[in-house]
């Protein structure tokens, strides 16, 4: 247990900002026996931040002082050096930290990275930040030929604002130069890319095209096996409503064929991409890992209809660690699936279709099912208080399986018509 205790009036060697209770603070972490650990911080905010994770850090062999290492205003440091410490302390989810590092490295460090965090003549001024935001709104991105979206610019500005706020708390700056600057406004209801709702027949047609080898090609057994695996993945995505990253990390022990009233998938930890903990000089900088779901509701059981379960059982006969994994006992690579998907939907005349449209289609197919049961199946948090008063009965889940069985039969009957129409 970590305890915080003030050590009296401010020390003259620590920064003074004219506020009360900014003297040094001592954090005591009680350990077994007499092995207590002590750390000090010069602000209450920094002490609370250290105490929050101190005991957990010590259990994992991390020194909290090194993790939240503090540089005082007397020691000049650049924004780039401070950003490295801030990213390590502020973002604990690897995938979130990876995305934040990319944003900071691409948009913030090239402009402000070499600037010193100081209140002197060479400080970062609000007008510079305002001009930088103007350039972000005006300059066109080479890849798209358009400027960045307002939501993206707000995200970039938020990282700079958070970084400079931390610099104020650590004593490098007296005031955050981002205060008073208004980033571009985002509409309350931002425009979302319209989803494409596929019919059951179109889904099965996509799976059949994926399974077929390219015209004129003579693929070997590994290529045919991979195409069959991705074809089954398309079917399971559409008839389970799971996210692609959730099935990407689906392990054998998370499939329960003997559960009643139907076989079940247990969605626990989706696969994400984050930074390597201890990267080597020439080794990869990122790696796949099992992360937390988007919300508590993301951990759920998804019941399957019998035809879909039989397809999964076909893959489980390979006795691999991951149901949709590779022969190397690792999750499949998302670009590999995306490449085969793009090839299939383009051949059907619909290059605008995306894998996530399968989840939207699933939700649309079941729009007449009990709303609370559908939210539970999709892993969404309840949207209003009314949903909290509805219980999911076994009859509600049975109704979902009945609808999916009917759609399966309709899809099997119409898949040939979809393929014939695309060939004309």
CA nearest to 130, candidates 122, 119, 142, 138: 138
pLDDT for res 75: 53
Whether the pLDDT of residue 73 is over 60: the answer is no
**405 contacts 308 by C-beta, under 8 angstroms:** no
Whether the pLDDT of residue 340 is over 50: the answer is yes
pLDDT for res 387: 47
Burial class of 199 by CB neighbour count within 10 A (0 to 12, 13 to 18, 19+): middle
DSSP string covering 213-279: PPTT----HHHHHHHHHHHHHHHHHHHH---HHHHHT-BGGGEETT-SSS-EEEE---EEEEE-SS-
Lowest-confidence pick of 27-41, 155-169, 341-355: 27-41
What value does the mean pLDDT take over residues 379-396? 61
Which position has the token pair 């003259």? Answer: 12
Which residue would you say has higher pLDDT here, 186 or 345? Answer: 345
Contacts of 94 (CB under 8 A, 6+ apart): 272, 274, 275, 289, 291
Predicted TM-score (pTM) above 0.75: no
Q: What percent of the chain has pLDDT over 90?
A: 28
Eight-state DSSP code of residue 196: -
Question: Hey, where are the domains in the chain?
Answer: 1-67, 71-187, 200-243+306-423
Residue 40: strand, helix, or coil: strand
What value does the mean pLDDT take over residues 103-110? 92
What value does the mean pLDDT take over residues 28-36? 58
Q: What confidence tens digit (pLDDT) does each residue in 223-257 have?
A: 889 999 999 999 999 999 999 888 988 999 899 98
What average pLDDT does the chain have?
80
Which residue would you say has higher pLDDT here, 395 or 75? Answer: 395
Q: Is the peptide bond prior to 261 cis by the omega test (within 30 degrees of 0)?
A: yes
pLDDT for res 161: 93
Please determine, looking at this structure, whether the domain spanning 71-187 carries the CATH number 3.65.10.10. Answer: no
Q: What confidence tens digit (pLDDT) does each residue in 157-209 have?
A: 999 999 999 988 888 888 899 998 988 888 765 444 567 889 999 999 999 99
What value does the mean pLDDT take over residues 137-142? 89
């Amino acid at each position: 247990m970590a305890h915080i205790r003030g050590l009296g009036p401010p020390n003259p060697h620590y920064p003074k900002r004219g506020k009360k209770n900014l003297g040094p603070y001592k954090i005591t972490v009680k350990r077994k026996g007499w092995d207590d650990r002590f750390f000090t911080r010069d602000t209450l905010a920094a002490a609370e931040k250290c105490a929050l994770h101190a005991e957990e850090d010590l259990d994992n062999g991390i020194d909290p002082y090194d993790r939240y290492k503090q540089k005082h205003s007397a020691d000049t440091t650049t924004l780039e050096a401070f950003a490295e410490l801030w990213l390590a302390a502020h973002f604990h989810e690897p995938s979130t930290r990876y995305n934040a590092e990319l944003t900071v490295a691409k948009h913030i460090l090239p402009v402000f990275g070499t600037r010193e965090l100081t209140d002197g003549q060479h400080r970062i001024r609000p007008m510079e930040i305002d001009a930088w935001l103007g350039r972000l709104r005006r300059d066109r991105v080479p890849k798209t030929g358009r400027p960045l979206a307002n939501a993206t610019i707000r995200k970039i500005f938020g990282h700079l604002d958070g970084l400079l706020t931390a610099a104020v708390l650590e004593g490098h700056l007296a005031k955050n130069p981002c205060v008073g600057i208004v980033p571009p406004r985002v509409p309350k209801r931002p425009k979302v890319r319209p989803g494409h709702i596929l019919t059951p027949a179109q889904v099965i047609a996509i799976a059949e095209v994926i399974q077929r080898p390219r015209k004129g090609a003579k693929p070997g057994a590994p290529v045919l096996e991979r195409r069959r695996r991705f074809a089954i993945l398309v079917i399971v995505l559409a008839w389970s409503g799971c996210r692609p990253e959730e099935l990407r990390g689906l392990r054998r022990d998370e499939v329960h064929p003997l559960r009643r009233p139907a076989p079940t998938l247990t969605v626990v930890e989706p696969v994400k991409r984050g930074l390597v903990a201890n990267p080597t000089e020439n080794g990869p900088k990122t790696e796949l890992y099992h992360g937390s779901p988007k919300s508590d509701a993301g951990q759920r059981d998804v019941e399957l209809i019998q035809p879909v379960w039989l397809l999964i059982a076909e893959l489980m006969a390979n006795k691999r660690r991951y149901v949709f994994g590779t022969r190397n006992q690792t999750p499949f690579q998302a670009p590999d699936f995306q490449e085969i998907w793009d090839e299939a939907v383009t051949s059907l005349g619909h290059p605008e279709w995306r894998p996530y449209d399968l989840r939207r289609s699933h939700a649309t197919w079941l729009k007449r099912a009990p709303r609370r049961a559908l939210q539970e199946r999709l892993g969404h948090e309840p949207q209003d208080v009314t949903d909290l008063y509805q219980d999911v009965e076994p009859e509600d889940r049975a109704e979902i399986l009945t609808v999916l069985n009917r759609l399966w039969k309709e899809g099997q009957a119409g898949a040939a018509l979809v393929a014939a129409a695309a060939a004309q």
